[in-house]
Amino acid sequence: MLILGIDPGLNITGYGLIDTKAHGFILKEAGHIKTDVKDGLPKRLAKIYASLSDILDKYKPEVLVLEKLYSHYKHPVTASLLGHARGVICMLAEQKKVSFFEYSATRVKKILTGSGHASKLQMQKMIEHTFETKNDFFGPADTTDAISLAIAHAYIMRVNFVK
């Protein structure tokens, strides 16, 4: 099963596409989409939309997993901006007819590390260990967060790992 995890962000949106196999996962594609803060909101959202649309068209994942919106009461504008990026991604899932799921960051961390309060560094190390890669292979934490979402979904759904 192809699962696309997405860590949404207006500045950086991370993505990771995994394929479930009998003895684990195969990483098919991973990276991030960076927008320019100098561009207006519509242009930045259009870049996220177009980039993810291309990925969905190319790989045709069966599932799209998004990190749930978390906002701190001290940063309401940040939550609002993040909501725009999430909205574009949710719309894409519907347009492309891809099953949509979302999980909180704490749930994903608990599944992958045993601690719902694992640090970003711990999460990165877990993904690097899973795919036997070297430090900083995936780039920003947004990418490893996205891969984590996809892996967590496979565990949550108890995907049948097939050859």
Residue 145 known to be catalytic: no
Task: Name residue 1's amino acid.
Answer: M
Selected catalytic residue, list 36, 62, 128, 142 = 142
Residue 36 known to be catalytic: no
Selected catalytic residue, list 54, 67, 102, 128 = 67
Which tokens sit at 105? 């960051």
Selected catalytic residue, list 7, 36, 102, 145 = 7
CB atoms within 10 A of CB 133: 13
Query: Tokens 């959202």 sit at which residue?
Result: 45
Burial of 16 (0-12, 13-18, 19+ CB in 10 A): buried
Separation CA 103–CA 94 (nearest Å): 18
Residue 94 known to be catalytic: no
Catalogue the active-site residues: 7, 67, 142
